[in-house]
Structure 1
Amino acid sequence: MSHRPNILVVMADQFRAASLGILGEDPVSTSHLDRLAADGCLVRQAVSSYPVCSPHRAMFLTGMRPDVNGVTLNVNSETAEDGVGLRDGLPTWASALRDHGWRTGYIGKWHLEPPVPDDEQFGEGRREDGKVWDAWSPPSRRFGFEFWYSYGAADRHLAPHYWTTDAGRDERVDVAQWSAEHETDVAIGFMQDAGDEPFALMLSLNPPHQPFDQVPDRYRAQYADLDERMLLNRPNVPHDTDVAAEAGAIARDYFAAITGIDEQIGRLTAAVEQLDGDRPTVVLFTSDHGMQLGSHGLLYKNVAYEESMRLPLIVHAPGRVPAGASDVVIDSLDFAPTILGLAGIQQTDDRIAGRDRSGVLRGAEADEAAQDDATLYWRYASRSDPSSVRGLRTVTEKIVATWHPASGLEMRFSDLVTDPFELTSRPSDPRAAQLVARLLRELDDAADDWEGAAALEARYPSQFS
């Protein structure tokens, strides 16, 4: 069965698409990723449907919408009290591959396990925001991953900790090494020890996520002399503001971490090339979301701007996926069925809403995929923010509808062709009404009872008369 490929998925947290050097946008060096993209398929329309950590990861693993998989907000001790967390027993691409004979493994940040009281003592502890984020995952809640070298959500890049496959909650391993480098060491060891059966490994790196200053000094030198305007070169950054100054300071370390991640990708791809035997290895490099880094006066993510939504995605699968670039849309929900498709597996479950894009990546079904270019955008209300958002993005346009319980509906429409940096909102544009109609159909098909839907329909009545 040597034709069954190995699967290596690498996710770098908060790595925005613009920071892939091959795209020529951010002033950052990623020579190893650029080479991987040149030899593989650079997917230019990869999108995070909910650009914050836990919701994207849950969709990425299951192909199921947030209300189905149970992760409507970031997972921590507060949201756990409200029932947020990946639901027991859900199938994932990992469980499907395990059931078909792949040796599965997970290394690094998980951030899908609701913390319990004991996690405060044995994990990272309680943060300044009063919440516990880090958690040990019981073996029964690893969703198809057999080998385990992971933690919940702990932001200690230079002094990370992990729970191994058989470790109890009180048996964590502490390491004095940059987390991305250490996890790459573990990943290379896993691949070398995989044996005759195919492996499916996910390596989940926390950098370039904050704390940004927790990056080895050796990566900092090439960004030290860049000033704010060179670092933040997008026209939607409001310079000479406090936000831009903070973003500029962050950017040096953010780009340094990305260059460090790139070095680990070089080590991984070299290890893949040295694997014994003739079994091919499919390598996917991506992220869970991007980062604003000053654009639109914002620093972080969980907003429907391109800096947060666009994902880097490289699919390197010689002999399976032609080298080049693709504009097929792959969003958070599409990853799970697409990964399985690349492995030659079909998963049938009515709860899976994602689309298998492996065919179009191989060069088939291009016309059909081009017509199916929509990505739903979600943001759910939380205790700290009662507003909620639904949106629809295509490769050319985007509508974003925010429902404020106190003040009503707020609309944004962007033409991504003529205004790629979303400098102007034109909610009265006739195309906005067409996109709203499409969004409402999508919400209806998803049985999403979003509380702003009635106001949205009333705002654009001509579409429904």
Structure 2
Amino acid sequence: MPTPSPARPNILFIMADQFRTRSMTGLGDGIETPNIDRIRQKAVWFPRAACTAPLCTPSRASLATGKMPSHCGVLEHDADLPIDQTTYYQLLRRSGYRVAVSGKTDLHKKVRYLGRRPLPIIYHLGFTESRETEGKMNSAWFDRDPDGTIRPWGPYQQFLEKADPGAVADLRADYLDRLRNKPTYYAAPSVLPADEFLDTYIGRDACDFLEQIDDDTPWHFFVSFAGPHNPWDPPKEEVDRLGAKTYPKTPRDTLEGKPDWVKKRAAASSGDMTDEDLNNTKLHYDGAIQVIDRWIGRMLDVLERRGLMENTVIIFAADHGEMMGEHGMFAKTTMYEGALRVPLLIHLPGMQGAVTSDAPAMLMDLAPTILDLAQVSYDASAMDARSLAPILRGEDCPLRGAQISELRNIMMVCDGRYKWIRNWNDRDELYDLETDPDEMHNVIADHPQVVAALKKHTFTH
């Protein structure tokens, strides 16, 4: 396996929002991702990779700092990364890297101003230039608070209104209708044409950036797509292209042994859902993935045509997964495999084959990993994350004894075989992932010694 280039490499970090690991080609969802496959065929893949919190903002804050959410001060969705937290973006910038972003960061939810110039908050976070956009749902009402407060348009809203006057109002009306009047699993094509779709905007902007690189300054470019996050509304062209596709059926869970809050959420999300309904949701989720995959292909084409592949690290990951009907639920905020696991691919310059690592990687591990690959010094003791660089070099590295994820009143500890889910104020769970990978049978009453061993990992991360 090759080591990183001796020259300080460029880093193209592509992130999707709410992307299931199983949605990569051949991993169970019946979805084809030919351009993500182009990365995977010459990358190290971490199939056990997990997020530190199955929710956008805490997960992304953890990634930025290399710390658990409880250690970097971001425990909830509607939060800002505290200004005293050091990000790996800041360390890259201080070392001379050009640090750019196209898409959503979710690091300053309450500081609700975005733009193409380095606003104070985004510059503080470590970016030298900003192409930051609204997130998927915020793209419809970013300029208006529920109390009627009016703010400047976000950059995507500005683009939409200029390209198609009235499009923002149409998008807002559609999203409000979905939220207020449609079931959780509802999926239908976007009211926008393909050229105006948010991930089209992000992908086009990302390609423009790569086309315009014209000097030898090393760069880190964070391309953060808004999809395939719900609402499930890909362009109609994508739905038509997929046609009447049938996806593998999701096993039905009786929910016996599950916490009461899971049963209530499942009933509210999918109580009246048919197999046909779920297949339709999967089709629209697939359509959103196709948009992202196609733009990834175009980015790779630009790198190849411009000779940039020779010194560019390429990373593909997601902030968290998507339940997609498993256990009757959708979206995230659970510790089940669908929401917890994230795709994680790392291509190093010169790699010619695919490598699979069984290491218990966490998304936050990318912070020290990227710094190591960029030859930037940092205080490893200040992070909870562990660098994956030794694994990328082919070295034997134990990494950690267990993976931990935390959110609100739940915590997850997984040692590879057993997963313990601590539900404060509700029933705890234990799953044997070797014999029960779909997490159908809560065996916590049968293995008190396993739970005792897993508990030793808590509050020590």
TM-score range, shorter chain: 0.7 to 0.9
Whether 1:286 and 2:286 are equivalent positions in the alignment is: no
1:188-244: per-residue Cα shift (whole Å, max 9, x none)? 22223332111101011001111212x222221343313xxx425232467995245
Q: Are the equivalent residues in 2 in contact too, given 1:232–1:294 (CA < 8 A)?
A: no
In structure 1, the gaps of 5 or more residues are: 76-83, 124-133, 162-168, 381-387, 447-465
The residue aligned with 1:302 is: 333
Whether 1:149 and 2:131 are equivalent positions in the alignment is: yes
Whether 1:394 and 2:415 are equivalent positions in the alignment is: yes
The residue aligned with 1:196 is: 216
The residue aligned with 2:354 is: 323
Give, in whole Å, the separation in 1 of the partners of 2:237 and 2:207.
22
* Structure 1 position 373, deviation (Å): 4.4
Q: 1:47 aligns with which of 47, 50, 54?
A: 50
The residue aligned with 1:208 is: 228
Whether 1:107 and 2:110 are equivalent positions in the alignment is: no
1:22-47: per-residue Cα shift (whole Å, max 9, x none)? 42x11111111112211222221111
* Structure 1 position 109, deviation (Å): 1.1
Give, in whole Å, the separation in 1 of the partners of 2:274 and 2:376.
46
Q: Are the equivalent residues in 1 in contact too, given 2:315–2:347 (CA < 8 A)?
A: yes
SS for the counterpart of 1:7 is: strand
Whether 1:87 and 2:82 are equivalent positions in the alignment is: yes
Q: 1:37 aligns with which of 35, 40, 45?
A: 40
Q: Which amino acid aligns with 1:21?
A: T
Q: CA 1:256–1:157 in 2, change beyond 3 Å: closer, same or farther?
A: farther
Q: CA 1:324–1:396 in 2, change beyond 3 Å: closer, same or farther?
A: same
1:154-184: per-residue Cα shift (whole Å, max 9, x none)? 52679999xxxxxxx7374322422222212
- By relative contact order (CA 8 Å, sep 6+), the higher-ranking structure is 2
Q: CA 1:410–1:156 in 2, change beyond 3 Å: closer, same or farther?
A: closer
Whether 1:377 and 2:358 are equivalent positions in the alignment is: no
Give, in whole Å, the separation in 1 of the partners of 2:406 and 2:427.
15
Q: Are the equivalent residues in 2 in contact too, given 1:160–1:175 (CA < 8 A)?
A: no
Give, in whole Å, the separation in 2 of the partners of 1:149 and 1:212.
24
Give, in whole Å, the separation in 1 of the partners of 2:335 and 2:289.
23
In structure 2, the gaps of 5 or more residues are: 144-150, 161-195, 255-265
Q: CA 1:157–1:231 in 2, change beyond 3 Å: closer, same or farther?
A: farther
Give, in whole Å, the separation in 2 of the partners of 1:171 and 1:159.
9
Task: Output the aligned Cα RMSD.
Answer: 2.8
Q: CA 1:154–1:6 in 2, change beyond 3 Å: closer, same or farther?
A: same
Q: CA 1:251–1:278 in 2, change beyond 3 Å: closer, same or farther?
A: closer
The residue aligned with 1:178 is: 197
Q: Within 5 A, what are the aligned runs for 1:122-141?
A: 138-141=119-122
Task: Tell me which moved more, 244-253 or 61-70.
Answer: 244-253
* Higher strand residue share: 1
* Structure 1 position 294, deviation (Å): 0.8
Q: Are the equivalent residues in 2 in contact too, given 1:42–1:313 (CA < 8 A)?
A: yes
* Structure 1 position 89, deviation (Å): 3.4
Give, in whole Å, the separation in 2 of the partners of 1:357 and 1:69.
21
Q: Are the equivalent residues in 2 in contact too, given 1:236–1:421 (CA < 8 A)?
A: no
Task: Tell me which moved more, 272-281 or 355-364.
Answer: 272-281
Q: Which amino acid aligns with 2:19?
A: F
Q: Are the equivalent residues in 2 in contact too, given 1:321–1:363 (CA < 8 A)?
A: no
The residue aligned with 1:17 is: 21
Q: CA 1:160–1:4 in 2, change beyond 3 Å: closer, same or farther?
A: farther
Q: CA 1:428–1:39 in 2, change beyond 3 Å: closer, same or farther?
A: same
The residue aligned with 2:263 is: none
Q: CA 1:294–1:335 in 2, change beyond 3 Å: closer, same or farther?
A: same
The residue aligned with 2:388 is: 357
1:364-388: per-residue Cα shift (whole Å, max 9, x none)? 124x23xx241112111xxxxxxx1
Whether 1:442 and 2:458 are equivalent positions in the alignment is: yes
Q: Within 5 A, what are the aligned runs for 1:46-65?
A: 46-65=49-68
The residue aligned with 2:165 is: none
1:402-449: per-residue Cα shift (whole Å, max 9, x none)? 011xxxx5111111111111111100233x533443334431x24xxx
Q: CA 1:260–1:278 in 2, change beyond 3 Å: closer, same or farther?
A: closer
Q: Are the equivalent residues in 2 in contact too, given 1:113–1:152 (CA < 8 A)?
A: no
Q: Are the equivalent residues in 2 in contact too, given 1:10–1:285 (CA < 8 A)?
A: yes
Give, in whole Å, the separation in 1 of the partners of 2:87 and 2:353.
26
* Structure 1 position 101, deviation (Å): 1.2
Q: Are the equivalent residues in 1 in contact too, given 2:21–2:321 (CA < 8 A)?
A: yes
Q: CA 1:249–1:278 in 2, change beyond 3 Å: closer, same or farther?
A: closer
Q: Which amino acid aligns with 1:420?
A: P
* Structure 1 position 349, deviation (Å): 5.3
Give, in whole Å, the separation in 2 of the partners of 1:260 and 1:373.
37
The residue aligned with 1:347 is: 378
Q: Are the equivalent residues in 2 in contact too, given 1:106–1:202 (CA < 8 A)?
A: yes
* Structure 1 position 352, deviation (Å): 1.1
SS for the counterpart of 2:350 is: coil
Give, in whole Å, the separation in 1 of the partners of 2:310 and 2:120.
29
* Structure 1 position 281, deviation (Å): 0.4
Whether 1:8 and 2:12 are equivalent positions in the alignment is: yes
TM-score, scaled to structure 1: 0.78
TM-score, scaled to structure 2: 0.78
1:281-321: per-residue Cα shift (whole Å, max 9, x none)? 00101111111111101112110110111111111113369
Q: Are the equivalent residues in 1 in contact too, given 2:429–2:444 (CA < 8 A)?
A: yes
Q: Are the equivalent residues in 2 in contact too, given 1:19–1:27 (CA < 8 A)?
A: yes
Q: CA 1:137–1:243 in 2, change beyond 3 Å: closer, same or farther?
A: farther
Q: Which amino acid aligns with 1:375?
A: Q
Q: CA 1:320–1:69 in 2, change beyond 3 Å: closer, same or farther?
A: farther
Whether 1:66 and 2:69 are equivalent positions in the alignment is: yes
Q: Are the equivalent residues in 1 in contact too, given 2:250–2:326 (CA < 8 A)?
A: yes
Whether 1:419 and 2:436 are equivalent positions in the alignment is: yes
Q: Are the equivalent residues in 2 in contact too, given 1:414–1:426 (CA < 8 A)?
A: yes
The percent identity for this pair of structures is 27
